[in-house]
């Protein structure tokens, strides 16, 4: 939860957002356990952009997490250098499929733990253990409503991508 908000908070351009009000059609399809107050959902993908320098531009895609939208993930992952798995600490189990997706494809990723309303309900190492991710994977506590916080997640991902590339190069 929070992908649309994260893209909007850091994008240098007005983000393309595909949030829609949830309707009765989602009943029995979307799992709202623990987030019963959620009233909107992403129905396609969100898009934003950040220019690091003239030669390096990050394209940000916020993809829906529901299974029915997974057909988009393979296309988006093709050529991707990295990803952020944004997790809701109240529903960590909903992140397993996303983590598996990136691990199976060898795509570097960082985990952003969205601390709603500034509440830090767990520590990074607790999240690491619960999600069973490698020690090298960054776990960043964040509030995606704040640009600086979302930026920290992306910086951790960029550093992880660089470190992963250096380790691969050293092996070759």
Helix (H, G, I), strand (E, B) or coil at 108: strand
- Kindly give, in sequence order, each residue whose CB lies less than 8 Å from that of residue 131, ignoring residues fewer than 6 positions away: 87, 92, 95, 96, 99, 111
CA distance 145 to 6: 6
Identify the pLDDT of residue 38.
Answer: 55
Instruction: Tell me how far CA of residue 164 lies from CA of 50, 136, 156, in angstroms.
Output: 22, 9, 12
Identify the pLDDT of residue 87.
Answer: 95
Q: Are 12 and 33 in contact (CB under 8 A)?
A: no
Nearest Cα to Cα of residue 2 among 128, 80, 69, 87:
87
Q: Are 49 and 58 in contact (CB under 8 A)?
A: yes
Identify the pLDDT of residue 12.
Answer: 96
Identify the pLDDT of residue 26.
Answer: 55
Name the strand (E) or helix (H) holding 171. Answer: helix 147-171
Tens of pLDDT, residue by residue, the chain (172 residues): 788 899 999 999 998 867 666 666 555 555 555 545 555 665 668 899 999 899 989 999 988 777 777 888 888 899 899 999 999 998 899 899 999 999 999 999 999 999 976 677 789 999 999 999 999 999 999 999 999 999 999 999 999 999 999 988 888 7
Domain ranges of the chain: 3-171
3-171 carries CATH number 3.40.50.720: no
Identify the pLDDT of residue 46.
Answer: 87
Neighbours of 167 (CB within 10 A): 10
CA distance 122 to 15: 30
């Amino acid at each position: 939860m929070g992908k649309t908000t994260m893209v909007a908070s850091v994008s240098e351009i007005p983000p393309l957002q595909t949030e829609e009000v949830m309707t009765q059609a989602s009943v029995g399809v979307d799992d709202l356990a623990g987030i019963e107050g959620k009233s909107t959902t992403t129905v396609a993908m969100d898009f934003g952009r950040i220019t690091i320098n003239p030669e390096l531009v990050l394209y940000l895609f916020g993809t829906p997490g529901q299974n029915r939208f997974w057909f988009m993930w393979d296309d988006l992952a093709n050529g991707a250098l990295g990803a952020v798995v944004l997790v809701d600490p109240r529903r960590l189990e909903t992140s397993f499929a996303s983590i598996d997706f990136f691990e199976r494809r060898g795509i570097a990723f960082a985990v952003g733990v969205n601390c709603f309303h500034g509440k830090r309900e767990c520590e990074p190492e607790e999240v690491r253990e619960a999600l069973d991710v490698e020690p090298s994977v960054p776990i960043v506590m964040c509030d995606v409503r704040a640009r600086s916080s979302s930026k920290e997640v992306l910086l951790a991902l960029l550093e992880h991508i660089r470190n992963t590339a250096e380790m691969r190069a050293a092996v070759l």
